[in-house]
Structure 1
Amino acid sequence: MADTHSRWPTTRQGSTRHPVPTLQYLLRARGHTVTVDGVFGAQTGDAVPAYQRTRGLPDNGVVCGDTWQALIVAVGPGASGSAVRGVQHEFRQRAGTPSDPDGIFGPATESAVRAFQSGAGLTVDGVVGPETWQALVTGVAGELRQAA
C-alpha cells in the first residue's frame, strides 16, 4: 500500500507557480491573510508555520503531505469562498483559460469536478474531498483509490 501523504508536492519558501496559488487559497480559506500571487514569499512563509502550529504539526514552514491534508477543505455544489477559488484555479491551470476564479461552486464548477473525477478514476460525486484535492494538486489520480 503506497503512502498517499508522500504524493503531495513539497512546497517551501522560494517556491513559485503551481501549486503555490492553491496553497495560498487554502491558507485564506483557513483564515490567513495572504496575497494569492503564486510566490511563496514572506507573507506565505509566515502563514504556513502559524497554521502548522494550530494543527499540532511541525512548524517548519514546509508544506508536504500532513500540512496539505490539514489544509484541504471539502467543497461541493453551493459552496463559496477561497477553497472554491483554489479548485477553480486548478482547473484554470489545466485548461489554460484566462478567467479568474469567482469562488462560487456553481454548475460549471460541478461539471468540471465530475468530469475530472470520472477521468481520474475517482468516485464521481461532484464534491472536492481529500482524494480529489490530491489528484488536482498532484496530477496523480489512478493509483489514489488503490493506495488509500
Structure 2
Amino acid sequence: MALQPWPLVRLGDKAHPVPSLQYHLRQRGYPVDVDGDVGPKTDAAVRAFQKAKKLGVDGIVGPLTWTALVTTVRRGDTGDAVRSVQEEFQYRNLSDEEGNAPAVDGIFGPVTEAAVYDWQQLLHDNDEPAMAVDGIVGPMTWQSLISGMYAG
C-alpha cells in the first residue's frame, strides 16, 4: 500500500479524521470543540483558515488545505498538533487499552516519539521507502496518519 492521499473532509462529516482536523484548527488559533463532528463552527473555522491562507474558500479540507494546516511536531513540543498525533495512534489502537498508544495529553514525550518511530519504520519497510524514520511528524507522516493508513 503506497502513501494514501489526503482525505476530503467537509460539513456533516463525523469521526476520523475530524478530531485531527479540529486539533489542527485549534493549533492555528481557531477555537473549535474537538467533538469529531464537522458542524457549523468547524466549517466556519475551515473557511476562515482557507481565506487567511488565500486558498479556495469552499469549506472542503483537501490536499491544499491539509498541507497548509498541519504543523511539524517533534519531541519536546506541546499543544493541539501533538494531541492530533496522539489521537491518530489512539484511533489505530484496536485493543481499546489506552496504554497501547500514547495518551492524548498534548506532550510529545518519549512514548509519543517511540510510536512515531515505529510507525515511520513500518511504512518505510512496507509501503513507502521515502518515509524518513526520524521521529518527527512532518508533512509525509501527517498524510500517512490522517489518510487512515492501517486503521481499522
TM-score by length of structure 1 reads 0.88
Quote the Cα distance in structure 2 between the aligned partners of 1:73 and 1:117.
17
**Residues 23-38 of structure 1 mapped to structure 2, 5 A cutoff:** 23-38=21-36
How far apart are residue 139 of structure 1 and its match?
Answer: 3.4
**Residues 48-67 of structure 1 mapped to structure 2, 5 A cutoff:** 48-67=46-65
Name the amino acid aligned to 2:33: T
Q: 1:106 aligns with which of 94, 109, 120?
A: 109
Quote the Cα distance in structure 1 between the aligned partners of 2:97 and 2:71.
24
Determine the structure 2 residue equivalent to 1:39.
37
How many residues end up aligned between the 2 structures?
A: 138
Determine the structure 1 residue equivalent to 2:141.
132
How many percent of aligned residue pairs carry the same amino acid? Answer: 48
How far apart are residue 103 of structure 1 and its match?
Answer: 0.2
Quote the Cα distance in structure 2 between the aligned partners of 1:37 and 1:98.
21
**Cα deviation per residue 1:74-128 (whole Å; 9 max; x = unaligned)?**
0000000000000000000001446451000000000000000000112110000
- Which protein has the bigger helix share? 1
Q: 1:111 to 1:37 in 2, by over 3 A?
A: same
Poorly superposed stretches of 4+, deviation over 4 Å: none
TM-score by length of structure 2 reads 0.86
Determine the structure 2 residue equivalent to 1:7.
5
Determine the structure 2 residue equivalent to 1:72.
70
Quote the Cα distance in structure 1 between the aligned partners of 2:6 and 2:135.
22
In structure 2, runs of 5+ residues without a counterpart are 125-130
Determine the structure 1 residue equivalent to 2:128.
none
Q: 1:116 aligns with which of 100, 114, 119?
A: 119
Quote the Cα distance in structure 1 between the aligned partners of 2:140 and 2:6.
11
